[in-house]
Amino acid sequence: MSANPNDPTLRSWVTTPKDSDFPIQNLPFGVAARKSDQAPFAASIIGNLIVDLHALSTLDAFKDIALPHNIFAHSDLNAFISLGRSITTQVRGRLSEILVDGTPFDTIREKRDQWLVPNTEVVHLLPVTIGDYTDFYSSLEHATNVGSMFRDPSNPLLPNWKHIPVGYHGRSSSIRVSGHSFPRPHGQLKPQDGPPEYGPSRMVDFELEMGFIIGKGTELGETIPADQAEEHIFGLALFNDWSARDIQKWEYVPLGPFLGKNFASTLSPWIITMDALEPFRTNGPVQDVPVLPYLETTGPKTYDIALEVLIQPAGGQPSRVCQSNFKYLYWNMCQQLAHHTVNGCDMRVGDLLASGTISGPTPDSYGSMLELCWGGTKTVTLEDGSTRKSIQDGDTVIMRGACEKNGVRIGFGDCAATVLPAKP
């Protein structure tokens, strides 16, 4: 049948801008709706054009693939993902065959106006219904920076850190797709010398994270061996785990993050498949403390994904404030998933597991304002000359990520959201 959809020499008959996140080798999955009728459909994207998978299915594009009726007309991808990796891989492969230069699917290509929609004519929806969201704390640099600022610079890591992929249960109800805005949160704040007070957070921050979506669930009591964990992952998306540092600082003892974290989180619209990421597989950092056998993995288990964060003031231009990489994470996704299920906790398709802030070794690679401004002792200067120690009203924070190799760029699309003034 077809060529390898990841073949760097593949070209599409759809013109894609040279620096596009979405060449024919990407073909991620998401959910969109035309602004004209608001009916949701499962989607992919090539260049600046949205692929309406439901419209394609009505043209018999997938008739030889075992797909339930109207599988692409849902408001989320959960049912599609539940069909399993072999089916979702076949659908991506078919998309590649339809979109490639010299496609044998002539009649489908001729009807392109029915299933290719300009990106400007759609709205994006959350790609999956997220049952549960878990956040890890898997960057050694981030944990070291935070430990140095808040505890002991000479001994920043807690004793469990190199033995356990530390995590906590977050909240899924407040996760939104890129492009949204939310009001600055209120909460309890504790001034240095004074009683706690109530008011808007003065320290709204971003956390540069990568999320992965569960593609194959488990039963209660079942565990996922680390070396089989990839079979349970559908794909990756950028994630901003918005944080209110002043609320967090006062509330987190002894049970951890709560209202300082759950007022909003932002997910990028496209799930980049494990298939598309395969060429960018690489080794993570050396784990210099032996891990328990259930956390052992063999071979390269992470991906070389360059990441950046930009801050765009209201009416202004975006300024890059951070450059990091997914491969810096100390704990990989397989270890996170093995650990999460080692007690028998069940996973469901669509669950979101996020990496924790992805900081790198150099100060310009820190993935939060907390670290970039080192606990408020420094400032970040934007291109318009204004400075920040935290995110101001009207600021839009934009996260981007992309893998590049052999002239192919697999991008994630923007993960962007705007902080509005606090409600009165």
The residues assigned a catalytic role are: 142
Nearer to Ca ion, 207 or 308 (CB): 207
Q: How far is the CB of 207 from Ca ion (least distance, A)?
A: 4
Nearer to Ca ion, 122 or 166 (CB): 166
Nearer to Ca ion, 141 or 207 (CB): 207
CB-based contact 207:240 (threshold 8 Å): yes
Residue 255 is classified by DSSP as T
- Burial of 275-289, coded b for 16+ CB within 10 Å and e otherwise, reads bbbebbeeebbebee
Residue 87 is classified by DSSP as H
Q: How far is the CB of 11 from Ca ion (least distance, A)?
A: 39
Of 288, 287, 320, the residue nearest 306 (C-alpha): 320
- State whether the Cα torsion 18-22-27-31 is positive or negative: negative
The count of other CB atoms within 10 Å of the CB of residue 206 is 29
Pairing of strands 352-354, 133-136: parallel
Which of these segments, 38-46, 200-208, 210-218, 297-305, binds Ca ion (CB under 5 A)? 200-208
CB-based contact 416:208 (threshold 8 Å): no
Q: For residue 48, give both structure tokens.
A: 């600046």
Scan residues 241-280 and list those touching Ca ion (CB under 5 A).
241
Q: How far is the CB of 357 from Ca ion (least distance, A)?
A: 6
- 395 makes contact with Ca ion (CB under 5 A): no
Nearer to Ca ion, 207 or 351 (CB): 207
Which of these segments, 92-100, 239-247, 321-329, 415-423, binds Ca ion (CB under 5 A)? 239-247
- 207 makes contact with Ca ion (CB under 5 A): yes
Nearer to Ca ion, 208 or 416 (CB): 208
- Burial of 301-314, coded b for 16+ CB within 10 Å and e otherwise, reads bbbbbbbbbbbbbe
Q: How far is the CB of 170 from Ca ion (least distance, A)?
A: 8
Which of these segments, 62-70, 233-241, 311-319, 332-340, binds Ca ion (CB under 5 A)? 233-241
Site string for Ca ion, 118-157 (x = CB under 5 A): -----------------x----------------------
Q: Which residues bind Ca ion (CB under 5 A)?
A: 135, 207, 241
